[in-house]
Structure 1
Amino acid sequence: MNILRSLMALILLAGFTGAARAQTQVPQNCDVTTASDPDRQVLTCALGIVIELEAAAQMGFSDLSSGSAPGVIDLDVGAALIEVEPGTALPQIRTPHAIAAVRGTVYIVDVTPEKTSVFVVHGEVSVTQHDTSDDPVLLTAGDGVDVGPGLQLEVRRWGDERAKALLARFAR
């Protein structure tokens, strides 16, 4: 099974009823379902990874080998909630602004043209900013960071309002 080749050949347009449509490459070792209220796409992948994408998200995969879990997930726009079983896989989420490296956790990455926001629900996530020599920051449950041009990597406890608003985008 050549997953890398199938990635290039397989583009899935999610069948959401809203105006925005997600365009996502889906590896062969992931099953795709849809969820609603709000509309989102759910990818359940081998080796303990579940990725929920809001309807407008655009995502792709790289660094895959046959039967493996996604090594690098490229999130270009929109938000994704990522659940990784501890000790199973260590994917990185690459955005235009940041790289979030999972350590077995549940977290959300939200990408806009101006910035990338990373929020940890459970576990730990290491976040670095593209094109800098700054050290990565480590987020734990309840922590978030905004990454973008001119922004310092500063770990903050997110207030209930901001965290709940982001989690509501995934019916949580």
Structure 2
Amino acid sequence: MWAYQPLGTHGFGRLAILMVGAVSMALSCTQAYAEGCISTTYADPPREVLECSGGSRITAEPGAAYRLIDRNRDGRPEAIELKAKGLLIEYDARPRGGFQVLSPHAVASVRGTTWAVDVTSSGTAVFVETGRVAVNRASGGPVVVLKSGDGTDVSPGRAPLEIKPWTAARRMSLMVRFGR
């Protein structure tokens, strides 16, 4: 089940879609999600893919609790608020600038890349497949910059963020959730 929360009366708030039910084969359905975005649901593995104008592609695993943020109301999200589970973001900044994922524990900012963010009650994990992503705590503090193959785990508290190359097993366990 994927649940979308309306964002008011502008931009992405104009359409709120609740998709519930079993996904049958590889491609279940394609729907207009909001201005500039198309939503497609896949079954193997179960996931939803949002293709937005300007080159953004957001893949959400089942149960991901997130909200797109379109600050300038141009029909293209500049950020996502992620409360639970994982997203894979493929973002091409050439047409328009940066993008952020805001979680309860971290802020991940990028100019153009492919990366994943996974939120649990105990923290937020950020992994970069390609490119570079700046990460800091939601409460502020020093920023770390992750490059391809790097990840960091942001837990509640004040411990410094550590950049670690992720093992193949950890990368695969995350990326397989998004059909990678």
Normalising by structure 1, report the TM-score: 0.86
- Is the aligned partner of 1:17 residue 2:22? yes
Q: Which residue of 2 aligns with 1:171?
A: 179
Map 1:52-131 onto structure 2 (within 5 A): 52-88=59-95, 89-131=97-139
CA contact (8 A) 2:37 2:51 kept: yes
> 2 CA distance for matches of 1:4 and 1:62?
13
Map 1:120-159 onto structure 2 (within 5 A): 120-132=128-140, 134-150=141-157, 151-159=159-167
Per the TM alignment, residue 6 of structure 1 is displaced from its structure 2 partner at its CA by 4.7
CA contact (8 A) 2:12 2:75 kept: no
State which of 5, 9, 24 in structure 1 corresponds to 2:10: 5
Amino acid at match of 1:33: T
Q: CA RMSD, aligned part only?
A: 1.9
CA contact (8 A) 1:4 1:64 kept: no
What are the superposed Cα offsets for residues 91-145 of structure 1, whole Å, 9 maximum, x if unpaired? Answer: 110001001001211110000111000000011111010113x221100110000
CA contact (8 A) 2:128 2:149 kept: yes
> 2 CA distance for matches of 1:82 and 1:160?
19
Amino acid at match of 1:103: R
Map 1:27-46 onto structure 2 (within 5 A): 27-46=34-53
Counterparts in 2 of 1:145 and 1:45: CA distance versus 1, 3 Å: same
Moved more, 74-83 or 149-158: 149-158
> How many residues are treated as equivalent by the alignment?
162
